[in-house]
Amino acid sequence: MLIRQLLNDLPAPSDFAQPSVWRKAQKTTPILCLRPPNARGLPLTTLHHVFRQFQHESSRPLPMTTETVAVQIAASKLCLRMGEAFKNEAGRGEAFYECVNGVLDKGEAGCKFQPYPTSHYGKIDRCIREANIPIALREDKLEFGLGGPDGYM
């Protein structure tokens, strides 16, 4: 029952957004989420079944096309790069586009996003659409020490 004990020791998900909680938890009871890139700990698949389902779905072979290879390279670059600390949001945004260059365009800046007509809306840093359907929403967050909570979420 070691896993159950470790899970019970983790802070509530909403508490992880607090910089002091995140740093301490990632040192004492880390989760394997690549934030920071060298984080080692419980695999996310042990925390909720949706992560296991994602892992299962993502292990299906993709058709080997030029586009597939480009997307896989971009995904690998994103995993390696985006866990790093950046001085500001602009630096994180530039790194993102360096990773996905040739796969995704820069999208629309400051777009209004309203999931349902009756819901509230928010402004997203960047929205990338294909056939007017949002396929990627990019919301850059401040690094720890440069603002309030929500440094990585």
Domain boundaries along the sequence of the chain: 1-60, 65-104, 106-140
- What tokens does 117 get? 């007509």
- Range 63-78 average pLDDT: 91
- Range 97-122 average pLDDT: 80
Q: What is the mean pLDDT of the chain?
A: 76
pLDDT band for position 61 (50/70/90)? confident
Q: pTM of the predicted model, to two decimals?
A: 0.55
- Range 73-80 average pLDDT: 92
Q: Which residue has the tokens 């440069």?
A: 146
**Which pLDDT does position 151 carry in this prediction?**
42
- Range 69-77 average pLDDT: 92
Phi, psi of 80 (to 5 degrees): -75, -30
**Which whole-number Å values give the CA distances from 147 to 3, 24, 141, 144, in the listed order?**
33, 18, 9, 7
Non-local CB neighbours of 109 within 8 Å, separated by 6+ positions: 125, 126
pLDDT band for position 73 (50/70/90)? very high
- Coil, helix or strand at residue 60: coil
**Spatial distance between the Cα atoms of 113 and 133, rounded to a whole number of angstroms:** 11
In this predicted structure, the answer to whether residue 45 has a pLDDT above a threshold of 50 is yes
**Which whole-number Å values give the CA distances from 113 to 21, 125, 136, 150, 151, in the listed order?**
30, 10, 11, 19, 21
**Spatial distance between the Cα atoms of 31 and 39, rounded to a whole number of angstroms:** 7
